[in-house]
Structure 1
Amino acid sequence: MTAPLDVPGSAIEAGPETVLEGAETSVIRGRSLGQIAWMRLRRDRIAMIGGIVILLLILVAIFAPLLVSWFGHPPAEWHREKLDPSIGAPLGTFGGISSDFLFGVEPDSGRDLFSRVLYGARISLLIAFFATLLCVVLGTVLGMIAGFFGGWVDTIISRLMDIFLAFPLLVFALALAGVIPDKAFGMSGDTLRISLLVFIIGFFNWPYIGRIIRGQTLSLREREFVDASRSLGARNHTILFKEILPNLLAPILVYSTLLIPSNILFEAALSFLGVGVRPPTPTWGGMLSDAVHNYQVAPNFMIFPGLAIFITVLAFNLLGDGLRDAFDPKAR
């Protein structure tokens, strides 16, 4: 329909371009699912705070040597002058906290607790990140294969998941970490212990994410875009990694952020039980293990490593909950 010209006695009508002339036009742009999820996540202040805390923890772990050179002392350096020679307890109030020792000193050795907490973050986060990466890769690949192909392939992988889930992981980790010598597989020292912990945590935890990915793949393989891709001659590996995998990124990302804190706690538990990274390399769990015998004379020796674990796990859980709500708001 066109609008008539406002000319007395004229029946001429104006075209659409005349009606729209001078009107403000705006370009309507579509948003991807990732952009929509990011908009939802930005509105979740608690999740954003968790993400900021995680980013700060990563920066602290990366720049730990620089921060220690500014505000602390080398983590293996002993300061016996800060201890009571009779009982080995730190001098001063609350474990020897001062401007030179921000978190105080360790009993019996006098090592700087601030620098050891910072260096402990490097070990704990490194093990948790790489163990989670191994777990996600194994769980995603095997879960996709089981859900996509089905049949005997699904049966074998599903029963393998059941076996791993029923396995007493902590007992096996204690036994395996205890019998491995100081030199094995061409590695030694901290490199061997870190690699061993990454393998134990990542390799035996993959069924948890594998079951989630399998269930999602069972649903996705019946979707129209998979049928369209197959009708165009796409092969199975092309459908798996170019059609199904991009639609699994959201659950993979969400579950990874929830899996990292559990891996941090598992590493801390192994270090607490004495089968983690060997002293004097600092880890949060190892520091808590040492603090059990000295917390009465130096409560800060237990408080600061415990707070580090608590804040890290809480931040990852808050971010994981926020990501879950952002990608699937109907599940709230």
Structure 2
Amino acid sequence: MTAPLDVPGSAAEAQPESVLAGAGKDIQGRSLTRIAWMRLRRDKVALGGGVVVVLLILVAIFSGPIISVFGHDPLEFHQEAIDQSTLLPQGSFGNMGSEYLLGVEPVNGRDIFSRIVAGAWISLLIGFLATLVSVVIGTVLGVVAGYFGGWVDQVIGRIMDVFLAFPLLVFAIALAGVVPDKGFGLEGNGLRIAMLIFIIGFFSWPSIGRIVRGQTLSLREREFVDAARSLGARHGYILFREVLPNLLAPILVYATLLIPTNILFEASLSFLGVGINPPTPTWGGMLSEAVRFYTLPHFVLFPGLAIFITVLAFNLFGDGLRDAFDPRAH
């Protein structure tokens, strides 16, 4: 048997300077969150979507100061900007200019820019809170169904099937027509917002519930769950300390993809006239009013662009999160 060749610079010979350079340094581990962040930083498209999402949230939070600086009261009429003979905005492109950044609406002359900014907080509020309701209900029932299995899984699974087959849009239209002006300590648009959050959130949880159930079925057979059982851990401890933390990544990813769906649903209801009561501005309500003035493309373009950019940004960011947390995608 021949001895290995000690060729200078080869892999067979350990270089003294490299050994000394690495001496005394601890090997640093990286968590799943850190690894996902490193992957997400390389996805410029997803980061761009995330930046737009943050900007939209800031616009919704500071809508009041933004309107006071760059626009006008979203409910204020500006008849001086309207041609009284045609009831159309004066000037080109709906009277767009320095005083009205995106022009004004026909007939009443309300500032389009201010109404889009004011409508952002309603769309995002309903989108976020309805998603939160869906995530909480879907996660709890999905984890319980996947972990316990048997008759529990069968009962929850059939409930999911019933909710998935439910005509949500028809039910929302019917319910919006019978909701009183006051109820549950709320009135007006406050009651409408709560109703939309309940309808969208309560009836859309089975989608995320199925995903959580499938992930739980896989996790309950893992070694760390068996180890917890062997140490005498109770079901509650295993569910909340072992299984649920490993579900945070898919839950977060699906939530970012569910938010734009809920925003679109709210816009659809407002477009159909069963959402937020006018004259409170919403993107869907602005599109519904713009249908009558099809000869003025800017009246339809700007609220439509607001919905398009919001949904696209959330989808791009959600796709990037999914790829970042999925090791098989790299």
Q: TM-score, normalised by structure 1?
A: 0.92
Assess, with a 3 A threshold, how the Cα gap between structure 1 residues 93 and 162 changes in structure 2: closer, same or farther: same
- Matched positions, count: 314
| Bigger-Rg structure (1/2) | 1
Matches within 5 A, 1:182-221: 182-221=181-220
Percent identical across equivalent pairs?
A: 69
Please give the alpha-carbon distance, in whole angstroms, between the structure 1 residues aligned to 2:19 and 2:86: 90
* Residue type of the alignment partner of 2:316: L
Measured after TM superposition, the shift of residue 224 of structure 1 is: 0.8
Give yes or no for contact 1:61–1:119 (8 Å, CA) kept in 2: yes
* Residue type of the alignment partner of 1:304: F
Please give the alpha-carbon distance, in whole angstroms, between the structure 2 residues aligned to 1:316 and 1:21: 48
Unaligned runs of 5+ residues in structure 1 are 1-17
Assess, with a 3 A threshold, how the Cα gap between structure 1 residues 270 and 19 changes in structure 2: closer, same or farther: closer
- Given candidates 304, 307, 321, the residue that maps to 2:305 is 307
Measured after TM superposition, the shift of residue 181 of structure 1 is: 1.2
Please give the alpha-carbon distance, in whole angstroms, between the structure 1 residues aligned to 2:195 and 2:327: 39
* Residue type of the alignment partner of 2:302: F
Alignment of 1:269 onto 2:268: yes
Measured after TM superposition, the shift of residue 307 of structure 1 is: 0.2
**Aligned counterpart, 1:78:** 77
**Aligned counterpart, 2:60:** 61
Please give the alpha-carbon distance, in whole angstroms, between the structure 1 residues aligned to 2:324 and 2:20: 40
Please give the alpha-carbon distance, in whole angstroms, between the structure 1 residues aligned to 2:126 and 2:299: 22
Measured after TM superposition, the shift of residue 23 of structure 1 is: 4.3
Other structure's SS at 1:177 match: helix
**Aligned counterpart, 1:170:** 169
Please give the alpha-carbon distance, in whole angstroms, between the structure 2 residues aligned to 1:293 and 1:69: 29
Alignment of 1:255 onto 2:254: yes
**Aligned counterpart, 2:31:** 32
CA-to-partner distance for each residue in 1:190-226, whole Å, 9 max, x for gaps?
1100000000000000000000000100110111101
**Aligned counterpart, 2:91:** 92
Assess, with a 3 A threshold, how the Cα gap between structure 1 residues 20 and 252 changes in structure 2: closer, same or farther: closer
Please give the alpha-carbon distance, in whole angstroms, between the structure 1 residues aligned to 2:98 and 2:230: 71
Assess, with a 3 A threshold, how the Cα gap between structure 1 residues 166 and 70 changes in structure 2: closer, same or farther: same
**Aligned counterpart, 1:49:** 48
Other structure's SS at 1:293 match: helix
Assess, with a 3 A threshold, how the Cα gap between structure 1 residues 23 and 254 changes in structure 2: closer, same or farther: closer
**Aligned counterpart, 1:319:** 317
Please give the alpha-carbon distance, in whole angstroms, between the structure 2 residues aligned to 1:242 and 1:155: 25
Measured after TM superposition, the shift of residue 24 of structure 1 is: 5.1
Measured after TM superposition, the shift of residue 295 of structure 1 is: 3.0
Matches within 5 A, 1:107-118: 107-118=106-117
Please give the alpha-carbon distance, in whole angstroms, between the structure 2 residues aligned to 1:143 and 1:193: 29
**Aligned counterpart, 1:9:** none
